[in-house]
Each structure stands twice: as structure tokens, then as C-alpha cells.
Structure 1
Amino acid sequence: MPMALKNYFQKGFWKKLADLFRPIYHYLLALAGALWYRFPAKNIFVVAVTGTKGKTTTVEIIGAILKEDGYKVALSSTLHFEIAGAEERNLFKMTMPGRFFIQKFLRRAVNAKCDYAVIEMTSEGAQQFRHKFTALNALVFTNLAPEHIESHGSFENYLAAKLKLARALEKSHKDRKFIIANVDDPQGNTFLNANVPGKFPFSLKNTSPYLIKKEGLEFALENRKVISPLSGEFNLYNILASIMFARSQNITDEIIIKAVEKFSGLRGRVEKVTLSSNDPDSIKQNFSVIVDYAHTPDSLEKVYQVFQNTRLICVLGNTGGGRDTWKRPIMGQIADRYCDHIILTNEDPYDEDPRKILQEIHTAIKETACEEILDRRSAIRRALGLAKTGDTVIITGKGTDPYIMGPHGQKTPWDDATVAREELKNTLNARTA
């Protein structure tokens, strides 16, 4: 047998063997975690929140409503972990950490006498059985858009991975089970088909009439006016998902409205960057600076739409490592459509050439002035320097991500809002009042 052919068959054999045993490994790991921490989910009401976008914000709004009603709550999200008021930042660079994390988190929540655990759950986590042996009480579905296609192989596989959570809810031994789903999404009714007793669909029709402004949202809830400081239609969906979950728990509209109106948003999610009011340079800021996690074409467009009535200076990039490369030209097209000046920069290149990533975005930008500045801090500095009265600088792609991921596993500590605030201070300091 020729050596090249022999090597091909050997590599194919080991790959098939790894593909065969990988699911078994993850399943046994999940079982071991549940055994070690004594199946903590049986002693707490567990809520899973899944979807492509809006998971983190929905987790946090649900938490805010539950706390407003006097419950002790545990929250696990891309942003942070919270148990009975004690918080720690999520530094794992993943939404749903493995290695027993979920079971350990639930055990800590039970020990702290929490009433509810609200957990952001992902398709990749479900693929690796990280949700296994976690008896669910409720599943909240936000939406589904093409994402993680390279890792799942197809959109259908991506949907199937999400639906594993619905199957897990069906199989849960819990008595009280609920599914809350966005029926404006084409997959909403697929989730509602789950065989559970409590079904709570939601739609923008539930809030009509509603008003979306740069400063916030106004909508109706059972003929009562609700004013939220959150911006964008996407956040109206997140609020609706949270409201319908709260109603499944018989929480009064009075409590719900109070919590929603108090909830001012999250770091890295349409986050407004300003200097402290005590800083003498703060009075010089006559333009807006926004940091947002937007990392899909749909979420990028929705953020731009919120501020489209202003001159937009946009800083963006795209993840490397072969992840969802199809998005790059589409992100470029969207930026070209909405932005008045574009600065392409590094995001998380991993082992991929960052210049290649930027070029794949740049090729789709035909009309708008566009620069490539690899160093992310320099790109942010340049954008702020271009800003004039009434403009909006939008920095997308990382949100609260704690690192820039480089080649060979290199991790550079990072925080978009912190860097933007530092560069904003320098920019304003250099200007005359």
C-alpha cells in the first residue's frame, strides 16, 4: 500500500474512533459530575434559557423579576455567575463551562438556599451533554439564527442540538414544567410542541402598541404602559420572554413592571460608555459611545438600526479559527449599509491570520470609508478621534469578553468598555472645552 494512502486510512481510523468515543466521554463526565455533587437540580427550580441571541439579557431580566418578588436566585450566564447576591465575572470565555461546572454551580445554589437557578444553555454545551442530569423545570427559547455552523455541520444540526434541551425538559421528573417560546421566530412552535403541561408563547403582538427609541422602550402590558431604559426591538423580545416566564410563576404584573422599569441593562450589551460625572472632562463628551457584543449579522444590524439616525463610526472585526467564516462578508455588507465610517480591527484571531479576516470583511464594503487598524486599542482611539457632536461610535464583537484570543492559545486580558473609557478620557482631555 502506498505510504500516502496508508497515512490517509490511519488518520481516518483515528478520527472515526475519536468521533465514536467523544460523546461517551462527555456523557460519562456529566454523570460523574452529577454523582459527585449529589444531583443538586432535584432540590431547586431550574430554568434553562437558550437561543442564538438575547440569552444573557433574558437570564438577567428573569433574575431581576424573581429578586423583586423576594426570591433567592442563582444566575449563570456569559456575563457572570451569581449565587444569592454574591457575584463573580465569567472568565471562562464560554457560556456553559464543562468539567462539572453546572453541577457544582447548582450545588452551591442549593447550599445557599436559592429558590431558582437560571442558566444560559448553549447548543455546543448540549452537544457535549453538559445539560445532562440537570432536571429542568422550565425552558425559555429566544430565537434561532445561523450560528456555529462550522461546529455543528448545518443549521439543521444546530437546531437539533437546541432541541435536546426541549427533550430534556420533557424527560425531567419535575412536576412543574413550563416552556416559554418566541412564536415570531420560525422555530418557536417547534419548541412549543414539547410535551410539557405549561406552554407560554410570546410575540411582539403581546405589547402592541410599542415605541422603540434610542433612549429606551415604551410598550403596553395588559393596557398598562411600561417604560424600559433598554434600547432596540431585540431587547423588547428579551423583556417579553422574561415577562412570560414570570407569569408562568404567577408573579403579579405590578412586580413584573417594577422590575422591568428598574432594569437598566448589562455591561457589553448596548452599553453606553461615559466618563464619571465627577470627571471635569465629562462635560466635553458631545457624542455617544456604545459597546455591544453583536457577533452575528442579525444582531449587528439591529444594534446599528437603534442609532441609524445619527452619524455612525463603527469598529468591528470577526472571530478567527475558522469559526463561521460565512459571516465575514455579510457583516461587511451590513456595516457598509449603516455606517458612515468603518474601522476594521482585531477581535479573536486564534491561529488565523488577522489580516485575512479583515480582508474578507473589507471585500464586501463598497461605498463607505473604511480603514484597517489591527491593534484594537488604536482602532478605538481612531474612532473616538473622528467623533463629532451628535455622532455615535459603536464598538462591536466582544462585549464583556475578558480576553483577545491569539495564536497557540495566547490570551491577552481585555475589556472593550474599559479601553473605550480610557481612550475617551484621552480624546476629550486633548480637546478644548
Structure 2
Amino acid sequence: MLTRKLIAQDIVHVLQKSGLLLQHRIPRVDQPFDGHTTHSNRVQDGSLFIAYKGVSFDAHGAIPGLQEQFAGLGFIVEQQDAFEQMSDQTFVCLVKDSRDAWGWLAAHLYHNPQDQLRMIGITGTNGKTSTVWFLGQLLRTLGEPCLTMGTIGVYCGEEKFPATHTTPDPDELFRLLALAVEKGVTWAAMEVSSHAVVQRRLGPLRFDAAGFTSFSRDHLDFHKDMDEYFAAKWELFSHLLKPDAVAWLSHDLEGWLPPDAFTRGFHFYGTARQGRTLQTGDAIFEVASMTLQSTDLTVTSGSRRWQGRLPFGADFAMANFTAALLIVEGLLPGRTSAADWSRIEPVPGRFEPVPEAFAEGLAVIVDYAHTPDALDKTVHKLRELTKGQLWVVFGCGGDRDRGKRPLMGAVAEKEADVILVTSDNPRSEDPQAIIQDILGGMSQGKHKAIVDREAAILYAIQQAKSGDSILIAGKGHEDYQIIGKEKFPFDDRQVASRCLRTRPTK
């Protein structure tokens, strides 16, 4: 994959174009840089150091030592005093936002691949991953190759790459977009997280289409409050769309939306609920029936009507499928057909059955639900499909929003018969302390605490009876568990399969 050399005058030009450049010193217009970094411990002589103030570390503090050690270093800074301390012989640019500058320079380095792709961005507390997956699937059925990026990984043609973040850092993001262009891909659909927006990872990216799937409590360890959290997500629509972009918003957002959401030509989708006044251009979806193996869905938007069967269950994911369908229809009018739905594959780790369980008369479902809202929807749906007892195995991640833990405990208790509270990714926290936070939202009687996640899954599978359902929630597609600073192999689907092989005959 070809990349550009970073040349001093080109860096200045890119930053001027972005509107981020405030001042600069450029001793040599043709000065080359052998790459760039935001990590002070990865600096090499002749590279460009991008300094910004992070949550726990301000990289500007490393600049004096780096200047002493490396004479040929260039700098991007966002603090006036750091700029003023540089000698006249040092290449330095003072910018409004160093993170944003990083995005623009990464795009430049990879020849601005976003300009050769039709870009689709999806945000929302829950539903981003499913919607991006369905976008890739729908475009594939139409013969339109698509790069998809998000929580479950990066897919480009037949290749899959692991995901380090829901939305990658600029270097990885634009490298992947350039890879898509190199392989002849013409579409890219990606999750746009609130973290990515606040941390300015997107640089010059502007989207041809966008969707907003849902909004509920999450990430309040990062955002000050719900208003700040929503504002971060809304930037996708207020600042990151192309002028003629297609935009679809869930009806459930109406209490949060600013006035311009109703005046800019955005469209809404949802179910036909009593009392709702639908506007021209809105879309309605309806689930006629559902099993763990199929869902019958009807979607109506204006004069278009789709009616078909998807080869997997989870009717609450149909809002996300509807959003993807409407976005593709908006970008490729008249090409979508319900006849293609039989080729749509389910989302990995989203209401995903473990097939071996059916032979035991059980339903074992693995789902990524890790917020109160997502867990509530998943538990409620499985309750509807369960004749016997409903078991729920779940925990909460460490070093994350503690306030949601008792809320998730209360949600699980509402409809489950037996709850096994266990570890998720405890990270640096004491797993037992996380469990106690969850139990704070629950009454006595229904729950049992088992710190070891595999032991909790094994207990549920061995104790459940024919006709019961077991929901294993929180990790979904993840194939690891983080305990302390170590990452261990752990896949709920594989663990459940292994436990089913040891299940005693009932």
C-alpha cells in the first residue's frame, strides 16, 4: 500500500485546508519526516511528533526532552507556550486541536481514500454493530463490495481483521480505507462512537449517509452526563454529513433531538405505535412472527413496501435491519428486494443461538447486551420465547460506568427466573466488588453469584431443564476476557458448546 512522505510544506498546506492551523515555523519547506507518532516513547529522529492533552497525560510535557534527544524532530502542538518555546530552527505547527490535525494528516498520508468511497456512518448507544453488519450484507447481495468497521471487527471482501476500537484511531482508520480502495471496494460502513467524535479521530471524513439507532445510558465514565453524551453523537449529523446525505433516525430519539432534526430533511423509522403522527418520508416496520430460526418482517416507506423472511431470530434487531435497508434504498433507489433477504447472515454474537443446545431441548443464546436498555430488550424477547425457566448469566465490565451496574441487575431480575451474576471483563477492578455493585440493584432470592464466568455458564447448562432458555449476556462476539492487565482467550459460544458436552442426561 503506497503512502506519501510527510513533507513540511505539505503538512502546512493540509492544516491550512483543515482550518486548524494557527501559526507555524517552517525552516525548510522541503524537510521530510519519516512518519509521525503521538507516543513520546516511539519517537525517532526525523519523525513528526503530534502532542495533545489526553485524559491522564499531557504529551506537551515530553517536548523539552525530545528536543534535546532528537535534533531533526518536527512538532504539532496545541498549546501556545509550547509553540513559543521552540527554536527558529524547529519545524512546528500550532493548531486548534492536535487530535483533529492527526486525522487530517493520516488521511493525507494515505492519499485521502475517503474521497474514493461512499461512506456510511452509524451511531447509537445500541444497534451500531448490527446496523453496520446489515449494511455490509445488503450491499453484498447487490454486488456492491463494502468495507465494514466496528466492534466485531473489520471486514473487507473475504478478509477479516481484528478491531482495536469501535472506531479506529486515525492511522488505522485511513489505512483500512486505503486498503478498501486498493482492493476495488467502493463502499465503507462504519460505527461512529461518541469517543471517536470527542477525540476527533475522523479528520476530513464526511458521510454520504448516516443512521442513529438508539440512545440510552452508557459511557458515563467518559462523558460528564447524558446531555454531553448525546451532543457527541449528534455531531455526526450536525457537522460530519455531506450536504445531500441520506439520514435515518429512530423514532425513539424524539425526546432528545434538537429542532434542526425536524427541519433538515432527516427521516424517521419505527413501529406503528398508537398515537404517533407519521410524516411524509417516515418508515414503518412490523414483525409478523419470529422464532429462534427466522423472522417475518414488513417495511413500508412511502410507495415502497418490502415483505420477507430473514433466516434468523431477534425481532428487536429488526429496527437495525430496517435502518440499513432504508439507507441502502436511499443511496441505491429501487435496487433493494426482499427476495435477497434469505442471503442475509445473522450478526455474530447478537442473539446468537448455540446450535448444540437445541438437541438438549434447551435454547442457549449469546448476546452482546451490556447496557440496561439492551439487556432489557434481550431478556424480554427471550422470555416471550421460553416455555420453561429463563436463566440469565451476566456481569459488568471493570473500569467502566459503575452507575449502570445496579440498573442492569434490576433489569435482569424483572423477567428472569434464575440469575447468575458473574465476571465480564473485570480489568483492574476486583471482580467480587463489581458483582456487589450489580447485586445492589436486586432483591434476594433469584440470583447466585459465581465469580468465574465459565463456572457460571457450566452451572446454568447443567442445572437447566428441557424447555428452559439460557441467556449469556455482555460479551457476545468477544473471544477474550480481560482480568487485570492480561487478556485471556474466552468465547462465550465456545465455552457454552464445551459445557453442553458435559451436561448430564436429563
Q: What TM-score do you get using the length of structure 1 for normalisation?
A: 0.86
Partner of 2:23: none
Whether the aligned pair in 2 keeps the contact of 1:41 and 1:136 (CA below 8 Å) is no
Q: 2:285·2:322 contact (CA, 8 Å) conserved in 1?
A: no
CA deviations on 1:330-354 (whole Å, 9 max, x unpaired) are 1111111111111111111111111
For 2:425, the equivalent position in structure 1 comes to: 348
Equivalent residues of 1:183, 1:203 under 8 A apart? yes
What is the Cα deviation at residue 248 of structure 1? Answer: 0.5
Distance change >3 Å, CA 146–CA 108, structure 1 → 2: same
Matches within 5 A, 1:7-86: 24-86=97-159
What letter matches 1:163 in structure 2?
A: W
Quote the Cα distance in structure 2 between the aligned partners of 1:176 and 1:68. Answer: 25
Alignment CA distance shift 1:207-1:163 (3 Å): closer
**Which residue is 2:494 aligned to?**
418
2:167 equivalent in structure 1: 96
Q: Do the aligned partners of residues 380 and 290 (structure 1) sit closer, same or farther apart at CA in structure 2, a change above 3 Å counting?
A: same
Deviation at 1:99, TM superposition (A): 4.8
How big is each residue's C-alpha offset from its partner over 1:69-118, in whole Å with a ceiling of 9 and x where there is no partner? 1111111121121113322343x2x2112151111111111111212101
* Cα distance change, pair 339–137 in 1 and its aligned pair in 2 (3 A): same
Give the secondary structure class of the aligned counterpart of 1:225: strand
Unmatched 5+ stretches in structure 2: 1-54, 61-77, 80-94, 273-282
Q: Give, in angstroms, the shift of residue 191 of structure 1.
A: 8.9
Asked whether the 8 Å contact 2:367–2:471 carries over to 1, the reply is: yes
User: Given residue 148 of structure 2, which amino acid in structure 1 is its aligned partner?
Assistant: L
Contact 1:54 1:234 in 2 (8 A): no
For each residue in 1:282-319, what CA deviation from the matched residue of structure 2 results, as whole angstroms up to 9, or x when unmatched?
A: 77411110000000111101111111142111101011
2:247 is matched by which residue type in structure 1?
A: I
Q: Cα distance, 1:412 vs. partner? A: 1.4
| Correspondence for 2:29 | none
Q: Secondary structure at the match of 1:328?
A: helix
AA matched with 2:412:
A
1:178-257 → structure 2 map (5 Å cutoff):
178-186=246-254, 189-190=257-258, 193=261, 199-205=266-272, 206-207=283-284, 209-215=286-292, 216-222=294-300, 224-252=306-334, 255-257=336-338
Offset, 1:195: 8.2
**Does residue 267 of the first structure (1) align with residue 348 of the second (2)?**
yes
Amino acid at match of 2:317: N
Higher mean displacement: 374-383 or 27-36: 27-36
Greater helix content: 1
**Rounded Cα–Cα distance in structure 1 between residues aligned with 2:403 and 2:168:** 26
Contact 1:218 1:226 in 2 (8 A): yes
Distance between the aligned counterparts of 2:403 and 2:289, measured in 1? 31
What displacement does 1:165 show? Answer: 1.6
1:359 Cα deviation from its structure 2 partner: 0.9
1:108 paired with 2:179, answer yes
Q: TM-score, normalised by structure 2?
A: 0.74
**1:320 counterpart residue number:** 398
Per-residue deviation, 1:17:
6.1
Q: In 2, distance between residues paired with 1:426 and 1:85?
A: 35
Q: Is the 8 A contact 1:181 1:188 kept in 2?
A: no
**The residue matched to 1:146 in structure 2 has which SS?**
coil
Partner of 1:138: 209
CA 1:203/1:411 → structure 2, altered by over 3 Å: closer, same or farther?
same
Secondary structure at the residue paired with 2:222? helix
Shift of 1:233: 4.3
1:367–1:81 Cα change, 3 Å? same
Contact 2:102–2:203 under 8 Å retained in 1? no
Match for residue 188 of structure 2 among 117, 135, 153: 117
| CA deviation after TM superposition for structure 1 residue 325, in Å | 0.9
Q: Distance in 2 between matches of 1:182 and 1:412?
A: 37
Check whether the contact 1:181–1:189 (CA below 8 A) recurs between aligned residues: no
Q: Please state if 1:177 is matched with 2:254.
A: no
Q: Whole-Å Cα distance in 1 between the matches of residues 314 and 160 of structure 2? A: 27
Distance (whole Å) between structure 2 residues aligned to residue 209 and residue 115 of structure 1: 32
Indicate the structure whose relative CO is greater, using CA pairs within 8 Å and at least 6 residues apart: 1
Whichever structure has more strand as a proportion of its residues is 2
Residue 375 of structure 1 is matched in structure 2 by: 452
**C-alpha spacing 1:83/1:345, structure 2 compared with 1 (3 Å):** same
Which deviates more, 290-299 or 65-74? 65-74
Contact 2:418 2:446 (C-alpha < 8 Å) held by counterparts: yes
SS of the residue corresponding to residue 337 of structure 2 reads helix
What per-residue deviation string (whole Å, max 9, x for no partner) do you get for residues 2-60 of structure 1? xxxxxxxxxxxx97967986983322321221121121111110111111111111111
**Gapped regions of structure 1 (runs ≥ 5):** 1-13, 276-281
Question: Which residue is equivalent to 2:381?
Answer: 306
User: Can you list the C-alpha shifts for 1:142-163, whole angstroms capped at 9, x where unaligned?
Assistant: 1111211120111111111112
SS in 1 for 2:424: coil
